Amino acid sequence: MVFNKKTVIVTGAANGIGRAIALAFADEGSTVIIADTDKKAGEKLEKDLQKQNKIAYFIHTDVSDPASVEAMVKSVNNRFGPVHILINNAGISEFKSIFELSVDEWDRIINTNLRGAFLSTRAVAGSMQEAGGGSVINIASTRAIMSEPGSEAYAASKGGLLALTHSLAASLGESKITVNAVSPGWIHTGDYSALREKDHKQHLSQRVGKPEDIARACLFLCNPANSFITGENLVIDGGMTRKMIYEG
């Protein structure tokens, strides 16, 4: 198993997509660090995984805070050695009119979704270099490349993540660190059975996405056998950004 005994940090892993990514790496025998602000859900996931003899640790982390990120990575390095894989998944959104969005709300979204990924990658890059290489995945969004009204801060943060991805891939390539983005479309993190027929049918894939769809892509992109893939953005959206829509 290629990920056995590898140290993997997943930010925002206490819930949703990040949780599925953490479970996928834990199943592969990795040491999984759940770096999240949600203490209750993070500690519960840590306990649940440890009960199944998987290796997982929750570390309370606010990815938008440089000191918090540095402290988390330092503690991982001290306890487990170098970091091999980082999944920058923590993210927040706020959809409202540009006339109602406050500057604080704008900053909070950009600082969590974009600055957080930069801070976390910078913090792990040194130990990845020492380990001889590694992989970073930035969880972006199809909203980086298409929009509904009232999504400026979120869309800008995710568009920034795509640019950060190829920029980091250029900077870290010599250190054998691949950096890729995964852009999910509609990924249902709640009760999948509550979805309606028309939710599924509007997708070319005839179904809404599941967190596991994103987790499997992370395993693929982080596999050293796929190290020729870097600086790329993998859109996983059931074909929604490929669907031509004419009204009338």
Ligand X SMILES: NC(=O)c1ccc[n+]([C@@H]2O[C@H](COP(=O)([O-])OP(=O)(O)OC[C@H]3O[C@@H](n4cnc5c(N)ncnc54)[C@H](O)[C@@H]3O)[C@@H](O)[C@H]2O)c1
User: Which residues of the shown chain bind ligand X in the complex (CB under 6 A)?
Assistant: 11-12, 14-18, 36-38, 61-64, 89-92, 112, 139, 141, 184, 186-187, 189
Pick 92 or 145: Cβ nearer ligand X: 92
Return the ∠ at Cα 229 (arms to 224 and 232), rounded to 5°.
135
| In the complex, least distance from residue 207 CB atom to ligand X, rounded to whole angstroms | 13
| In the complex, least distance from residue 240 CB atom to ligand X, rounded to whole angstroms | 11
| In the complex, least distance from residue 219 CB atom to ligand X, rounded to whole angstroms | 16
Q: Write out the H or E segment, with its range, that includes residue 207.
A: none
Pick 73 or 131: Cβ nearer ligand X: 73
**Residue 178 and residue 8: Cα distance in Å, rounded?**
14
| Residue 242 exposed, middle or buried by CB count within 10 Å (0-12, 13-18, 19+) | exposed
Pick 75 or 175: Cβ nearer ligand X: 75
- Is position 154 annotated as part of the catalytic site? yes
Rg (CA), the chain: 18
Pick 11 or 121: Cβ nearer ligand X: 11
Q: Report the half-sphere exposure of 70 (CA within 13 A, side-chain side).
A: 3
| In the complex, least distance from residue 36 CB atom to ligand X, rounded to whole angstroms | 4
**Residue 213 and residue 232: Cα distance in Å, rounded?**
17
**Which residues are annotated as catalytic?**
154
